A = this chain, B = another copy of it.
Amino acid sequence: MLTQLEQRILEFIRGYIAQHGQGPTLTEIGAAMEIKSKGTVHRYVQALTSKGALEHVERGWRGIRLANESQLHSTTLPLAGRIAAGHPIEAIPGQDQLDLGELFVSDNRFALQVKGDSMIDIGILDGDWVIIEQCHTAHDGDIVVALIDEQDATLKRFKCLPDGQILLIPENTDLSPMQYAPERVRIQGVLMGQLRHYA
């Protein structure tokens, strides 16, 4: 349990970091709290650290960090587990964080927004984002961004026929696969991820 002054100091440190992007010095804390002695401030900071409210980087100035700071700028979400109809939420063993950056972001990837319903059967809807890894070849079954005749871009499942013709298959039972001569099709990337944002 924090004392009243410890609480005030923690508040001040929070505000300072929010405003300056880095921790305050002991002297600055002292000035704000009207404590003239660095030593006293140091004792408070140590108390807050031992109580787990702060993290303190030894060595170096402005080494005060908020204990939960890592959650602030990161792309990780706590992972609650699996959910299924008729069962309680089930934990996923050996994994308790989902890191979006690690999962989706890489040098040679980019995002596209999907228009239309041509991939609706595999859960890619109008307005969804897809994450594409740039490359110029694909394997059968990959979902690719293909440029046809150097002008029409499209997201389709890729298949190479025995005779070398290229089949681009929409994942929508209402639409039909299209077949092209290989020189008409240029692969621009393959699908690595899909995401959707609900308002």
Contacts and interface: CB of A to CB of B under 8 A. Distances in A.
Contacts of A129: 98
Given A88-B153, A153-B88, A112 B80 contact: yes
Interface stretch (A32-40, A44-52, A68-76, A158-166): A68-76
A173 interface: no
A93 interface: no
20 contacts: A4-B22, A70-B107, A71-B107, A74-B105, A75-B101, A77-B110, A78-B110, A80-B111, A81-B113, A82-B113, A85-B154, A85-B170, A87-B152, A89-B112, A100-B101, A100-B104, A103-B197, A123-B124, A193-B196, A195-B196
Interface stretch (A8-16, A114-122, A179-187): A114-122
**Looking at chain A's contact residues, is the secondary structure mostly helix, strand, loop, or mixed?**
strand
Contacts of A118: 85
Contacts of A154: 83-86
A99 to B, nearest CB: 9
Given A101-B74, A104-B197, A107-B70, A88 B151 contact: yes
Interface of A: 1-4, 7, 20-22, 70-71, 73-90, 92, 98, 100-101, 103-105, 107, 109-116, 118, 120, 122-125, 128-132, 143, 145, 147, 151-156, 170, 191-198
Contact of A125 (B92, B98, B122): B122
Given A70-B105, A101-B101, A195 B198 contact: no
Nearest to A131: B77
Contact of A153 (B77, B89, B98, B153): B89
B83 A114 contact: yes
Contacts of A104: 77, 100, 195, 197
A64 to B, nearest CB: 12
